[in-house]
Amino acid sequence: MGNIRFLVLLGALALAQIVAATTSGAAITFKQCIQLEVPVPVVATNQNYSMPRVDSNIDAIDWTVNVTTRSTTPHIFNSVNINNTFTISAQLCVPSQKGPKADVLQIATHGLGFDKIYWDVEINPEEYSYVDAAVKKGYSILTYDRLGTGKSQRPDAYTVVQIPTEVEILAGLTKLARSGKLINSSKASGTSSRTISDFRPSKVVQVGHSFGSYLIALLLSRHVEISDGAILTGFLVTKLPTINVLHYDHEFAREHDPVRFGQYPSGYFVLNTKSCLQKLFLRKGAFEPEMLDYTEKIKQPEAVGEYASEGSNPPSPAVGFKGPIQFFNGEFDNYICIGDCRGALDEDTVKLLFPNTTVYTYLQPNTGHALTMATNASAGYQVMLNFLDEKGL
């Protein structure tokens, strides 16, 4: 009896230590993450567009009005050849216990106005972090700051940070991962930097939000062979009128917040108010008030070249791509569907863009443009992850 009592007490003590470690903010044991500074070589052809410079808050509004005026005719002065290596900040997370899904890598590309934290929300991560949801399901996931955001390099906002450059960065990251050279070619840091090595996925799934989904659609047509499937959130092919940049006010990033954005040069602007963020990303009654404050806290600047290059880089048919694709959208997405995505899908155009695969669509109830900020985010994640599982990914 004495030995049994001793073992019970010992087990209780071990459990208490585990609970204490968890409640004291110790690292979550279901995942290991590594921070990476990835040098990504890029060869792309951009354009030199005619547009006003943005060097003040007044300039930011003037730029918006100028490029959306109906009498304005976009003009391209000349092509700009990009042949450079850019430093991209990324995070790779893998399950602590390797299972059958650990070799399936999700590469998540955020949209405009955010960086990679969009996928890894710090408020109640068990409900809002897509990174945590994916890893708990057994997947590995790579998130990264697009060029000009977060901790990634911030080059010229007019001629360098454009769609062709960003598509090639995504292609470069994907190729590095598939080759098993992602970690060895990068500067690694973090508590798991010594335990994660030689990572080489067997399959790669592209996951995007909004502008990130747009980049993925272009990737699937230009680099057919490097992806096995895709989930495009905050992105839907419709015949609805386009809501442009005039609907959401911006300010010059450095003037808007010199502390947070003082290192951003000319041509980078940022959404100016919490009201603007709410209108663009959230749905009334479907977000916690603290999430709006958090969205303001993590918002990121945008480069004017990203907007200017959209007209020259429309989605083109991904003829050779045969992997499964899911369009995942909020039911009441203000940006994509002018507030109501029910019945908005243009099926004929979807078939033209993805002629050799089946595209699946899903509307997440009572959700706006930013899925990861919605109160039912975790339910949406299960839909996305179940889709991949059902398709053998």
Read off the pLDDT of residues 157-210 as tens digits, 9 standing for 90 and up: 999 999 999 999 999 999 999 999 999 999 998 766 667 777 899 999 999 999
Predicted TM-score (pTM) of the model is: 0.91
The reported pLDDT for the residue numbered 283 is: 92
Q: Is 11 domain-assigned?
A: no
Q: Is 24 domain-assigned?
A: no
- 95: amino acid identity, one letter: P
The reported pLDDT for the residue numbered 29 is: 83
Would you put residue 85 in left (φ > 0), alpha (ψ -120 to 50) or beta? beta
Q: Is 13 domain-assigned?
A: no
What is the rounded CA–CA span in Å between residue 132 and residue 312? Answer: 36
CATH number at residue 221: 3.40.50.1820
User: Which residues constitute the domain of residue 149?
Assistant: 33-390
What is the rounded CA–CA span in Å between residue 110 and residue 235? Answer: 12
Cβ neighbours, 10 Å, residue 293 = 12
Percent of the chain's residues with pLDDT above 90: 83
The reported pLDDT for the residue numbered 7 is: 34
Q: Is 136 domain-assigned?
A: yes
What is the rounded CA–CA span in Å between residue 106 and residue 279? Answer: 29
Counted domains in the chain: 1
The reported pLDDT for the residue numbered 191 is: 67
- 158: amino acid identity, one letter: Y
121-to-330, 360, 368, 388 alpha-carbon distances in Å: 18, 26, 16, 22
Q: Is 94 domain-assigned?
A: yes
The reported pLDDT for the residue numbered 75 is: 84
Residue 284: φ, ψ to 5°: -55, 130
Judge residue 2's burial from the number of C-beta atoms within 10 Å of its C-beta, 0-12 exposed, 13-18 middle, 19 or more buried.
Answer: exposed
The reported pLDDT for the residue numbered 163 is: 98
Q: Is 17 domain-assigned?
A: no
29: Cβ contacts below 8 Å, ≥ 6 apart: 96
- Which parts of the chain have pLDDT scores under 70? 1-28, 191-194
Q: Is 5 domain-assigned?
A: no
Cβ neighbours, 10 Å, residue 365 = 12
The reported pLDDT for the residue numbered 246 is: 85
Q: Is 10 domain-assigned?
A: no
